[in-house]
With several copies, the nearest count.
Chain A
């Protein structure tokens, strides 16, 4: 099985399991008292949000290693992680407003959590734009690693900004200094979903990694350079 195929399989399995999460969420998990059915979006929204931040941290770590080891695999992984992170950020930025409209009565407000997520999305876009702007592969990898490392260190600031700035968005329930505060079944469903998203991340990254391998192979043969 090629790498690309393996990635595709993992992704498909993850998507199937995501279906299972929703079966569980809709049938076997209690309705939230205040928000009703809208709260069900939580099981996509939050894991996607966590992996948006996670993908940035992993790509930063890959960047640090790259700067010392100069291993092109690390750079390929970083690129893949950035692309998947962008997708996850998009998911957060769509599910958030979908949820927000019934709860807050507006799609979007400019509070710290929402804005910082938007800027994390911009960071991904900027990262990918920069990769596009540098032609020389060695230089590109190094520049990308530098920006990635900076991005990794920015994530905690973005994550913690909700504690400092007045915000409409719920405070962290799970990733916070004290213990998680979530009713049992909800927590279980959520953890299940987090696992599924982890699998989804692995699957998508594997696929993207395979794609960049292919592209490099084509370029060394002397084909497309544009």
Chain B
């Protein structure tokens, strides 16, 4: 177990180091987030639409894109560097590879979200401070779920011929539950509703996370081994 985690960390560390060197993905995701927020801003007729009604959707559209960008990179990076083959011939435990990629992806998405959230507050003037803690919790729960599934799928498709295409297509149905839950929860939070009203959604997110993180950890090795 310690060895598993150590190796996972080696993989994650290398990904983060590469990202730190090039900053490609993180900055483009952050700028992408800014772009989405900006476009919303221009498009919106402030007299017609109250910000608060739109805010949850906008927030989650932004975060979903950032996450998709991250996932696309995770294995693409190995291909570009001709290193995927190297990982596969190495004795690296497949579960470690999965966890390593998951950690790197989560770190990545977390940074983008950490950049996106303040921008969001700035652009849309939504008062989040009083619900910050639960909001961060919701973001973390939802993100964990779909990044876990996405990491699995990105390994699944990376060696097929239509990798990017397939990733989006097969991931789509899996995005629905966490995304719906997250949007509804965020809307309730912004609306200042009592916590009791949202327990159902929280359970949904938590169940999704538990099921899919375990499932993906188990299934991952079948995606990379011949």
Residues of A within 8 A of B (CB): 67, 108, 110, 112, 115-116, 119-120, 122-123, 125-127, 129-130, 133-135, 138-139, 142-143, 145-147, 149-151, 153-154, 157-158, 160-161, 163-165
Which residues from chain A contact B32 at a C-beta distance below 8 Å?
none
Q: Is A130 a contact partner of B170 (Cβ separation < 8 A)?
A: yes
29 intermolecular pairs with C-beta atoms under 8 Å apart: A110-B42, A112-B180, A115-B42, A119-B176, A122-B172, A123-B170, A125-B169, A126-B169, A126-B170, A126-B173, A129-B170, A130-B156, A130-B160, A130-B170, A133-B157, A133-B161, A133-B166, A139-B159, A143-B223, A150-B153, A150-B215, A151-B173, A154-B173, A157-B208, A161-B176, A163-B200, A164-B181, A164-B201, A164-B204
Docked pose: A143 CA to B223 CA in angstroms = 6
Whether A110 contacts B41 in the complex (CB less than 8 A), given A138-B226, A143-B156, A153-B215, comes out as: yes
The 9 lowest CB-CB distance pairs between A and B, nearest first, are A126-B170, A119-B173, A133-B160, A123-B173, A157-B177, A126-B169, A110-B41, A146-B219, A133-B161
Residue among B38, B123, B204, B219 with max Cβ neighbours from chain A (10 Å) = B219
Q: Which residue of chain B has the shortest Cβ distance to A127 in the bound complex?
A: B170
Which of B159, B181, B222 is within 8 Å of A67, CB to CB? B222
Which residues from chain B contact A150 at a C-beta distance below 8 Å?
149, 152-153, 174, 212, 215-216, 219
Docked pose: A171 CA to B64 CA in angstroms = 29
Q: Is B123 a contact partner of A110 (Cβ separation < 8 A)?
A: yes
Closest Cβ of chain B to A218, distance in Å, is 22
Which of A67, A153, A158 is within 8 Å of B176, CB to CB? A158
- Number of residue pairs A-B, CB distance < 8 angstroms: 99
Residues of B within 8 A of A (CB): 38, 41-42, 122-123, 149, 152-153, 156-157, 159-162, 166, 169-170, 172-174, 176-177, 180-181, 184, 200-201, 204, 207-208, 211-212, 215-216, 219, 222-223, 226
Q: Is A116 a contact partner of B169 (Cβ separation < 8 A)?
A: no
Which residues from chain B contact A158 at a C-beta distance below 8 Å?
173, 176-177
Docked pose: A110 CA to B138 CA in angstroms = 24
User: Which secondary structure dominates where chain B touches chain A?
Assistant: helix
Closest Cβ of chain A to B220, distance in Å, is 8
Docked pose: A154 CA to B148 CA in angstroms = 14
Which of A122, A135, A139, A157 is within 8 Å of B169, CB to CB? A122
Docked pose: A196 CA to B36 CA in angstroms = 39
- A-B contacts besides A120-B173, A158-B173, A164-B201, 16 pairs, CB < 8 Å: A119-B172, A126-B166, A130-B157, A130-B166, A133-B166, A134-B160, A134-B161, A142-B222, A142-B223, A146-B222, A150-B212, A150-B215, A150-B216, A153-B211, A154-B174, A158-B177
Which residues from chain B contact A110 at a C-beta distance below 8 Å?
38, 41-42, 123
Docked pose: A139 CA to B208 CA in angstroms = 27
Docked pose: A135 CA to B200 CA in angstroms = 43
Q: Is B176 a contact partner of A129 (Cβ separation < 8 A)?
A: no
Which residues from chain A contact B200 at a C-beta distance below 8 Å?
163-164
Which residues from chain B contact A165 at a C-beta distance below 8 Å?
180, 184
Closest Cβ of chain A to B141, distance in Å, is 14
